[in-house]
Chains A and B, each alone.
Chain A
Amino acid sequence: MAGTEGITQQELNNSTGETRDETDSRKNDYLQSKVEGKALSKEEKLKLRKEKKQQKKNKKDDKGPAKEEKAKKPVPVMDGQQAQQQRAPPTSPLVTPEAPPTGEKSGKSKVELRADRRARQDVDRTSKQGKKGDRSQLASTAKTKAPPSEPQPVVKRLPEHIQADDPAVLKKVAKKLERQQIPLRSDYGSKVSLFSHLHQYSRKAPLTQQMSIPSTVIHPSIVHLGLQYSQGIIAGSNSRCIALLHAFKQVIRDYATPRNEELSRDLVNKLKPYISFLNQCRPLSASMGNAIKYIKKEISNVSSNIKEEEAKTTLQNCIDKYIEEKIHLAAKAISKSAFEKISDGDVILVYGCSSLVNYILCDAFERGRKFRVIVVDSRPRLEGRETLRRLVKKGLSCTYVLITAVSYMLPEVSKVFLGAHALLANGYVMSRVGASQIALVAKAYNVPVLVCCETYKFCERVQTDSFVSNELDDPDDLIVTRKGKTELQNWQDIPSLRLLNLVYDVTPPDFVDLVITDLGMIPCTSVPVVLRVKNVDQ
């Protein structure tokens, strides 16, 4: 047919002058397919666009080899479609398909058009895969750490302190500590199997036993702090954070930038071994973690232009400001909100020793509210005795019970105030072990539970049970000596006996009615919102 001949001629023209006449052929294509009466479907439009892109790319790549091809091609190409089809499969090599699928010609019969389309699709598919291969190759070369072959989102790595039973992780930690010249604290006693992934240390084996006196690697105030943490002299979320910031102030005060180093980078590196050391003495709390993040950010933001003395003063002022804002003013704000919730004649139940709850109660009492307090305490820490002492010293009338008597006391309680160690991103409250029990029993008796927590203790972690991440305290604390006799003296010799001394537990948000923060009184489920707002602010 004349049409076919016309096609072959055009083909020839196109194959020879493909780089030049591409746009012409495109135009012809388009017009002729329109003439055909079939509007181009979306797919075909997309394909066309892709082909255009491919050809533009090939133009750049093939200016050299194309000229050779021009010389070669006019000879063999006699039958257009067959040649086309022959060309189509060999275009599977990825980067530069030699013959762009310019085989789509106009004025063909339906069959020929369909064949054309099929060929185009094949070519598209291969070129698409080629592009994918390109992209993935580029990606793998560009990124130094490519995620594993699965295209799923990267799994977050577990923190090391909850992988105490994984020997690979232990080895890694040991190597890191060796590099930082910090001794490794060894675990003590047999652990309950459910908690074997956590570390358990003994207070009688402090970390300083393995370190030199005087400490040369770790700043003295950090050593003092670590000892105070491990012996429990500084305990409680706020207190640990303030003591940490105080120690950091000393470190910054005694810091001298070495030559050829910048304060913003070197000081952060200096702090890393200190933080590892403190972590070995006692696992860091959420409040400490947030404070450390803040400090590191502030240090990194120190501009290199200002002098060292000025930078150090700025950093120390930042620390003061952080404490003032996040702890003092927050406590005042929380106390103000909580004051509205405490009415005259209330019976308030508190658990353990929370510095914030004590502050609230003392403040409310000073402002004239008449209420009485029931202090609930639990072994082995018996922190409630401290709360009792402080409240009674102020003049509040208090009752003291152990946690075993909580269900007897609850019928007379009007409110429960709990402190928090951290508030997790899914609304769970992490607090001293036993607080979740108090909340549960209070819920059963329909007593409102109010948790008081500053916003700097909010953390991004998500936990729904107390097993996954917790802290194991010294199991010897559980041992009681009466009249010189200790029944559990040699508990380690009994193979079937394990002692468990948990420190924290998580309370689900269903049991908590209100969280009082310095941003206001929010329900437990609004914690992620606060976190998001905080991140946006920073």
Chain B
Amino acid sequence: MLLLILMLSVMELQAVVMAAGGGSRMMDLTYSMPKPLLPVGNKPLIWYPLNLLEKIGFEEVIVITTKEVHKQMNIDTKMKLEMVCIQEDADMGTANALRHIQQKIKTDILVVSCDLITDVALHEVVDLFRAHDATLSMLMSKTHEFTETVPGQKGKKKTGEQRDFVGVDSSGKRLLFMANEADLDEELVIKKSIMRKHPRMHIKTGLVDAHLYCLKKSVVDFLADNKSITSIRGELIPYLVRKQFSASTNSQKTKDDSEKNQKKTDLKTPDIHISSKDEDLLDLAREKSCWNDHRGDMSDAYHGGKLRCYVHIMEDGMCYRVNTLAAYIEANRLAPKVFSEEFPIHPTAEISEQSMVGADSIIGAACHVSEKSSIKRSTIGASSCIKEKVKITNSIIMNGVTIEEGCNIQGSVICNQAVISRGADIKYCLVGSGQCIEAEGSCFTMGPLINCNIPFLLSVAGCPGEAGSYQLHKALEAAVN
């Protein structure tokens, strides 16, 4: 039927995937491989957000990434990917990236970060955006403790990881307050205007921001005019949350004034509607409706505010942002359970009968596992070669790795093209890409840093903290040379 074939000329949402980030918190992994291409469960990291978008029904996605990623990326997807390449060295903030593609944005956008792995029902986030005519709608999740030991960490470290304070109203949906510990001196300051309108506010700290945002088109236009905002998460979102309660957005009188003062410092309210006459109708409908989002005071629904920010907090389900090594390892453990469709053992992998491959291990394409090897709770990348009598437990082996016979690898991450020679005993280490561990080498609880060849029969003890590892690195180099 003609009706079915003709698609709507009006799009509701455009998807934008931000894949240009450097992965600055896990440089050990990303110095050789760009973050979007890091393998998680033998799929590149960027596959997960793209899969999420494809499953819901998006057909076109704009991917902002670097040339290097663009060259190496080949994702099997039915969607039409529009790649926008930006300079690697530019270190563009996410908001700058949005400004860069402002011309392509025709309607409201859904911004996703490339390192998000989640199985959330996205309609929850988008429904908040649609039903309340919100300016911003975002996704957050309760933090899950990471259970795996991470190479380079001794015990739990919470330094460097600063808390986010998120304030929501009693329904748990409206976002009232957002601040990062880093931005606050000693006290948490909450404006009286917020308390007057929402006397009951729940402040939560154990939440993970999924970096998934639904933004109105007027916000993108606002960004284009306002060049001082560089990062979405760091600057734009707190700005929007604060602006909900600022005096200029709310009072009808000052709306005209603010439109007159178009100085750069006095920013225009980012809720300029398409056609004012039609908006009147919608306001009239709301006025006549017998619904209110709060009760107890004399104000209308939404307190008459035009700018509204909403958040959907996931209680159960998986939501990880792979931006640290710990998250990467956790994701590798859990993502395949939820996402893999094919067999955990790739059909082209050759596994000899006398080897033991555990049920929760994943073997990539064209792998070769010789006899008497045992692989438990691990991920082996494509084209890797594992010789006899190798014992691999709780590890992540990436592509093209060669592990000679008799090795024992535990809790480690071995990056691309590394070679582990015979008899090596590696525990809780991270072997950089292309590196070679000589025969009979033994590494124990070392930081994420084997970036040089380690000669044989060297037994290296671990040391905590990154500073220490750097010194050790230097020491190793000295020892080798």
Interface, chain A (partner B; CB < 8 A): 179-181, 206, 208-209, 211-217, 219-220, 223-224, 227-228, 231-236, 238-240, 242-243, 245-246, 249-250, 254, 256, 258, 261, 269-270, 273, 323, 352-353, 355, 383, 385-387, 389, 392-393
Q: How far is the CA of A245 from the CA of B8 in the complex (A)?
A: 19
Given contacts A181-B4, A233-B131, A389-B298, contact A213 B122 (CB under 8 A): yes
26 contacts between A and B (CB under 8 A): A208-B126, A211-B57, A212-B56, A212-B57, A213-B56, A213-B126, A215-B12, A216-B7, A216-B8, A219-B8, A220-B12, A224-B131, A224-B133, A227-B130, A233-B289, A235-B290, A239-B288, A239-B289, A239-B290, A254-B8, A254-B9, A254-B10, A355-B288, A385-B292, A386-B290, A393-B298
Contacts of A234 in B (CB 8 A): 285-286, 289, 291
Interface residues in B, total, Cβ within 8 A? 40
Given contacts A213-B56, A269-B3, contact A246 B285 (CB under 8 A): yes
Closest chain-A Cβ to B274's Cβ sits at a distance in Å of 9
In-complex Cβ contact of A214 among B1, B6, B11, B131 (8 A):
B11
Contact with A along B1-42 (1 / 0, CB 8 A): 111101111111110000000000000000000000000000
Question: Are A213 and B292 closer than 8 Å at their CB atoms?
Answer: no
| Identity of the chain B residue whose Cβ is nearest the Cβ of A228 in the assembled complex | B131
| Identity of the chain B residue whose Cβ is nearest the Cβ of A230 in the assembled complex | B131
Question: Are A209 and B121 closer than 8 Å at their CB atoms?
Answer: yes
Given contacts A214-B57, A242-B281, contact A219 B10 (CB under 8 A): yes
Closest chain-A Cβ to B369's Cβ sits at a distance in Å of 41
| Identity of the chain A residue whose Cβ is nearest the Cβ of B53 in the assembled complex | A213
B247 CB–A CB distance under 8 Å:
no
Contacts of A180 in B (CB 8 A): 3
Contacts of A352 in B (CB 8 A): 290
Closest chain-A Cβ to B278's Cβ sits at a distance in Å of 6
Contacts of A386 in B (CB 8 A): 290-292
Question: Are B289 and A385 closer than 8 Å at their CB atoms?
Answer: no
Question: Are A214 and B2 closer than 8 Å at their CB atoms?
Answer: no
B475 CB–A CB distance under 8 Å:
no
Among A217, A231, A242, A258, the one with the most B-chain Cβ atoms within 10 Å of its Cβ is A242
Given contacts A209-B123, A213-B58, A385-B295, contact A246 B289 (CB under 8 A): no
B227 CB–A CB distance under 8 Å:
no
Listed from nearest, the 5 A-B pairs whose CB atoms lie closest are A212-B57, A353-B290, A214-B12, A243-B285, A220-B12
Contacts of A242 in B (CB 8 A): 281, 284-285, 288
Contacts of B131 in A (CB 8 A): 224, 227-228, 231, 233
Interface, chain B (partner A; CB < 8 A): 1-4, 6-14, 56-59, 121-123, 126-127, 130-133, 278, 281-282, 284-292, 295, 298
Question: Are B291 and A235 closer than 8 Å at their CB atoms?
Answer: yes
Question: Are A239 and B123 closer than 8 Å at their CB atoms?
Answer: no
Q: How far is the CA of A366 from the CA of B8 in the complex (A)?
A: 48
Closest chain-A Cβ to B109's Cβ sits at a distance in Å of 11
Question: Are B4 and A258 closer than 8 Å at their CB atoms?
Answer: no
Closest chain-A Cβ to B252's Cβ sits at a distance in Å of 16
Given A206-B123, A256-B9, 13 more pairs with CB closer than 8 A: A181-B4, A213-B13, A215-B8, A216-B8, A216-B57, A234-B289, A234-B291, A235-B291, A240-B285, A240-B289, A242-B281, A243-B282, A389-B295
Q: How far is the CA of A221 from the CA of B123 in the complex (A)?
A: 16
Q: How far is the CA of A208 from the CA of B282 in the complex (A)?
A: 21
Contacts of B13 in A (CB 8 A): 213-214
Q: How far is the CA of A216 from the CA of B59 in the complex (A)?
A: 10
Contacts of B8 in A (CB 8 A): 215-217, 219, 254
Question: Are A233 and B132 closer than 8 Å at their CB atoms?
Answer: yes
Question: Are A236 and B292 closer than 8 Å at their CB atoms?
Answer: no
Closest chain-A Cβ to B110's Cβ sits at a distance in Å of 8
Question: Are B292 and A389 closer than 8 Å at their CB atoms?
Answer: yes
Closest chain-A Cβ to B215's Cβ sits at a distance in Å of 14
Question: Are B127 and A227 closer than 8 Å at their CB atoms?
Answer: yes
Contacts of B278 in A (CB 8 A): 246, 249-250
Q: How far is the CA of A208 from the CA of B57 in the complex (A)?
A: 12
Closest chain-A Cβ to B112's Cβ sits at a distance in Å of 12
Contacts of A232 in B (CB 8 A): 291
Closest chain-A Cβ to B15's Cβ sits at a distance in Å of 8
Closest chain-A Cβ to B144's Cβ sits at a distance in Å of 24
Contacts of A254 in B (CB 8 A): 8-10
Q: How far is the CA of A260 from the CA of B133 in the complex (A)?
A: 36
Contacts of B132 in A (CB 8 A): 233
Question: Are A206 and B10 closer than 8 Å at their CB atoms?
Answer: no
Contacts of B290 in A (CB 8 A): 235-236, 239, 352-353, 355, 383, 386-387
Closest chain-B Cβ to A410's Cβ sits at a distance in Å of 24
Question: Are A239 and B285 closer than 8 Å at their CB atoms?
Answer: yes
Contacts of B285 in A (CB 8 A): 234, 239-240, 242-243, 246
Contacts of A243 in B (CB 8 A): 281-282, 285, 289
Contacts of A389 in B (CB 8 A): 292, 295, 298
| Identity of the chain A residue whose Cβ is nearest the Cβ of B6 in the assembled complex | A258
Given contacts A213-B126, A219-B10, A385-B295, contact A270 B288 (CB under 8 A): no
| Identity of the chain B residue whose Cβ is nearest the Cβ of A256 in the assembled complex | B9
Contacts of B58 in A (CB 8 A): 212-214
Contacts of A383 in B (CB 8 A): 290
Closest chain-B Cβ to A283's Cβ sits at a distance in Å of 17
Q: How far is the CA of A273 from the CA of B3 in the complex (A)?
A: 10
Q: How far is the CA of A323 from the CA of B130 in the complex (A)?
A: 24
Given contacts A214-B11, A254-B10, contact A224 B281 (CB under 8 A): no
Closest chain-A Cβ to B386's Cβ sits at a distance in Å of 43
Contacts of A231 in B (CB 8 A): 131
Contacts of B6 in A (CB 8 A): 258
Question: Are A224 and B130 closer than 8 Å at their CB atoms?
Answer: yes
Q: How far is the CA of A181 from the CA of B1 in the complex (A)?
A: 11
Q: How far is the CA of A261 from the CA of B3 in the complex (A)?
A: 11
| Identity of the chain B residue whose Cβ is nearest the Cβ of A242 in the assembled complex | B285
Q: How far is the CA of A384 from the CA of B290 in the complex (A)?
A: 9
Q: How far is the CA of A227 from the CA of B310 in the complex (A)?
A: 16
Question: Are B57 and A213 closer than 8 Å at their CB atoms?
Answer: yes
Q: How far is the CA of A243 from the CA of B2 in the complex (A)?
A: 28
Contacts of A385 in B (CB 8 A): 292, 295
Contacts of A236 in B (CB 8 A): 288-290
In-complex Cβ contact of B298 among A245, A249, A270, A392 (8 A):
A392
Contacts of A256 in B (CB 8 A): 9
Q: How far is the CA of A245 from the CA of B282 in the complex (A)?
A: 10
